[in-house]
Chain A
C-alpha cells in the first residue's frame, strides 16, 4: 500500500472556506528557495507528478510556517527574513515554490532511505521547511497542497501482520540532533541560520531575566540541542526567569526531591505500596531505549522517580505510560553530560554521581509539572483520555470527513488506536528524537500536552489519509494504525506535523461548534 512512497500525499485538502488570500510575502524563516536548482532536481526524477499546481491552492504548510514562526520572528533581524521581505511574490509563485520544496523534500527523503531500510537515521535530516509565506495579518489561505510527504521506508504492506517491532519507533536510534543540521542543499545558509538561532537563545537565556514569552516563541520551532536542557527547565516553569535565582532554586528542589527519597522510598516494600512498586519494577525494563534504560543506574533512577511520583499523587498512582514520560526529560538532561550523539549507546557510568543526582531531581520535577497538566489522563477510568479521544474523533470528522467515514464504515474505533496516542503522548508512535522535538513545541504552547496535542494527533491521523483510504479492511486498517511507519522520522517530519496542527488549531479552536454535531 505504501510501496510507492513518492506518491504520498502529506497535506490533506481542507474544504473549509477561509477568506482572504496571500498577497505579499514579507519574509521567510528559511532561505529563499532557488527554483532553478530545484526545478532541475524535479526533472531528474521521473516519479514526480507533473500536475500543475492549481492556482487557488496554497500549501497549508506555508500558512503555518508563517503563523508559527513568522509572527514570532516579526521584528527580529533575521537575514533570510529580510531578504525575503524585500521580495514581493504573487500567490502562484509562492504556491509553486512551496510545492517544489515539499516535493523535493520527499525526494530527498526517498534518496536517504532506500525502501526497506528501516535503520534509524543517524544524521538529522536536512531541514525540509519550505519558505514561509507570511501573510502579515495571519489571514488564512485556502489550504491545500498536493505535495507528498516523506515516504516511509517500510510500507505497511511489506510487513507481516504483526508489525509492532518493525515500526516501533523506539527501536530507532536516538540521535538528538536538535535542530537539523543540513548536509545537502543550502547547508551553509541553514547552519548559519541555526547558529543565529542558537545565538538568540543564548542571548535570551543570559538574562538577567529571561523573557519567557520570547523564549516560547523561539522554542516553538525547535530548540537547539546545546540549550535544550535549560530551555526545557525554564519553559516547564521549573526554573525561574531570573538568572540569579536559578542556582538556589535548583539546589532547593534537588534537596527537596532527595528528601522525598529518604522519606518515602523505603516504603516501596510496604503492603500498601508494593503493588505500585512491583508494576514500576517490571515495566521499566520493558521501555526504550533499552540500552540506556537497562543500565542499572538508570533503571534505579527511573524506579525512584516513578515511585515517588506515584505515591505523592494517589489520585492516579502509577499508570503504565507515565513511565514513558520520564524518558525525554532524562535523555535531554543527561545529554548535558554526555558527548555521545547517540543516546542509545550513552554510558551513564561516566557521568559524575553529583551530576546524575541533579539530572534525576530535575527530571522528577519537570515530569511532575508535565503530569500536573494531564493528570486526568491517569486518574481512575482515565477520563482525560476518554474525553480527548472523543474530541479527536469529532475534530477529525470535521477536518476530514472522508477519513472519518472510512474508519467508521470499517468499524475502526478511535479508542482502538488513539488511546495509546493520548496515554503516551504519541511516544509509542514516533521515535524518541521526534518526541523530544515535539516537546520543544508542546512546552511552548499553552496547554501543549493537554490541548495542542489533540491537534497534533488529528494532523497525525490525517497525515496517513492516503494509506488509510486505501485499506478496505478492518484488520488491515487497525494493523496500519497501530504500527505507523515512522521509524525513520526526523525533525523535518515533526515540523510539518506541527505546522499542520497549528493550522488546525487556528481553524478549529475557539469554534465550539466544530466539536458538536
Chain B
C-alpha cells in the first residue's frame, strides 16, 4: 500500500540503540527506525520479524514495538526495535531532509550511535529517484552504513539489521564502545542493575536511504 508512491519511497532511516542485555554475554540492542512517511519503515520491521511482507499496513501512530533475538558472531543479541510514525508532525516540524534526520538521531541518541541508511523499495527500480551512487556518497560523507533494501521481497532486510548488530558488537569488542561507561548509551539489561542506573541511550545504528 502506498508502495507505488514514488515520492514516498525515498528515504527510510533508522538507528540502533544498544544496551547490554545481561552480564553473561547476551546483549540487548535498541533500534529506532526513523524516516519519512510511507517509506516502508513498518514493512521493513515486519519483514525482519515475520519474514513476510505486510500487505495491509496501517500507517503507524506514535511508536510501535517489535523484537527479535538473533545470533551474531556466536553471541545472542536481542533486538528491541522501535518503529516510529513517519509524519513529521509526530516529531519535529523542521525535519525535511535526511541530514536533519541524522542530526537529530545523533543529537537525541548519542554521537556514537551506529546508523545504517536503508534505501527501501529497491523492488520499484523503475521508479527510482535516487541513484545508488548518490545514496552511497551521502552515506559515506555522513559516515553511515548503507544498504538498498526491499521490504516487499525481503532483500537485504535481515542483512541491514544484522549489519548494525555486528557493527555494534565489533565496537564493543574493540573497546570503541564501552557498555559500562556512563553516558555511553549502553547499559545492562539486568533488572536489578537497571534500577540503579537510569536508562540511557546508546549506540545507534541505522538505516537507510532508499532504493528506489
Please report A residues at the B interface, Cβ cutoff 8 Å: 160-162, 164-165, 168, 170-171, 278-279, 282-283, 285-288, 290, 317, 319-321, 380, 411, 415-416, 419-420, 423-424, 428, 475, 478-479, 482
A164 to B42, CA, bound (A): 10
A259 to B61, CA, bound (A): 32
A-B contact pairs, 25 of them (CB 8 A): A160-B49, A161-B67, A162-B46, A162-B66, A164-B64, A165-B56, A278-B7, A279-B37, A283-B37, A283-B59, A285-B1, A285-B2, A286-B59, A288-B56, A317-B89, A320-B89, A321-B61, A411-B194, A419-B61, A419-B62, A423-B62, A424-B61, A475-B67, A475-B78, A482-B64
Q: From B8, which residue of chain A is reached at the shortest CB distance?
A: A282
What 1/0 mask marks residues of chain B from 1 to 23 whose CB sits below 8 Å from any chain A CB?
11001011000000000000000
A286 to B55, CA, bound (A): 10
Q: A288, A320, A420: which contacts B87 (Cβ < 8 A)? A: A320
Residues of A within 8 A of B56 (CB): 165, 168, 170-171, 288, 290
Whether A288 and B7, one on each chain, are in contact in the complex, defined by CB atoms closer than 8 angstroms, is no
Residues of B within 8 A of A411 (CB): 194, 199
Q: From B57, which residue of chain A is reached at the shortest CB distance?
A: A286
Q: A161-B49, A165-B54 are in contact. Are A428 and B61 (CB under 8 A)?
A: yes
Please report B residues at the A interface, Cβ cutoff 8 Å: 1-2, 5, 7-8, 37-38, 42, 45-46, 49-50, 54, 56-59, 61-68, 78, 80, 85, 87, 89-90, 93, 194, 199
Residues of B within 8 A of A319 (CB): 87, 89
* A178 CB to nearest B CB, Å: 25
Q: Which residue among B37, B59, B63, B90 has the maximum number of chain A CB atoms within 10 Å of its CB? A: B59
* A292 CB to nearest B CB, Å: 13
* B161 CB to nearest A CB, Å: 13
Q: From A424, which residue of chain B is reached at the shortest CB distance?
A: B61
Q: A162, A170, A283, A320: which contacts B50 (Cβ < 8 A)? A: A162
Residues of B within 8 A of A424 (CB): 61
* A417 CB to nearest B CB, Å: 9
* B14 CB to nearest A CB, Å: 15
Whether B2 and A282, one on each chain, are in contact in the complex, defined by CB atoms closer than 8 angstroms, is yes
Residues of A within 8 A of B199 (CB): 411
Q: From B46, which residue of chain A is reached at the shortest CB distance?
A: A162
A320 to B64, CA, bound (A): 14
Residues of B within 8 A of A168 (CB): 56, 58
Q: A283, A416, A419: which contacts B65 (Cβ < 8 A)? A: A416
* B176 CB to nearest A CB, Å: 27
* A381 CB to nearest B CB, Å: 10
Whether B50 and A160, one on each chain, are in contact in the complex, defined by CB atoms closer than 8 angstroms, is yes
* A46 CB to nearest B CB, Å: 36
Q: From B80, which residue of chain A is reached at the shortest CB distance?
A: A475
Q: A286, A290, A479: which contacts B67 (Cβ < 8 A)? A: A479
Whether B58 and A479, one on each chain, are in contact in the complex, defined by CB atoms closer than 8 angstroms, is no
Going nearest first, the 9 A-B pairs with the smallest beta carbon separation are A419-B62, A162-B49, A282-B38, A162-B66, A420-B61, A286-B59, A320-B87, A478-B65, A161-B67
Whether A428 and B37, one on each chain, are in contact in the complex, defined by CB atoms closer than 8 angstroms, is no
Residues of B within 8 A of A287 (CB): 58-59
Q: A168-B58, A282-B37 are in contact. Are A161 and B68 (CB under 8 A)?
A: yes
* A184 CB to nearest B CB, Å: 32
A54 to B63, CA, bound (A): 43
Whether A164 and B59, one on each chain, are in contact in the complex, defined by CB atoms closer than 8 angstroms, is no
Q: A320-B87, A475-B67 are in contact. Are A288 and B49 (CB under 8 A)?
A: no
Given A320-B61, A416-B63; 7 other pairs, CB 8 A cutoff:
A160-B49, A164-B42, A168-B56, A279-B37, A286-B1, A321-B61, A478-B65
* A221 CB to nearest B CB, Å: 30
A283 to B90, CA, bound (A): 14
A475 to B31, CA, bound (A): 13
Residues of A within 8 A of B90 (CB): 320
Whether A164 and B2, one on each chain, are in contact in the complex, defined by CB atoms closer than 8 angstroms, is no
A420 to B58, CA, bound (A): 13
Residues of A within 8 A of B37 (CB): 279, 282-283, 320
A475 to B82, CA, bound (A): 11
Q: From A165, which residue of chain B is reached at the shortest CB distance?
A: B54
Q: From B87, which residue of chain A is reached at the shortest CB distance?
A: A320
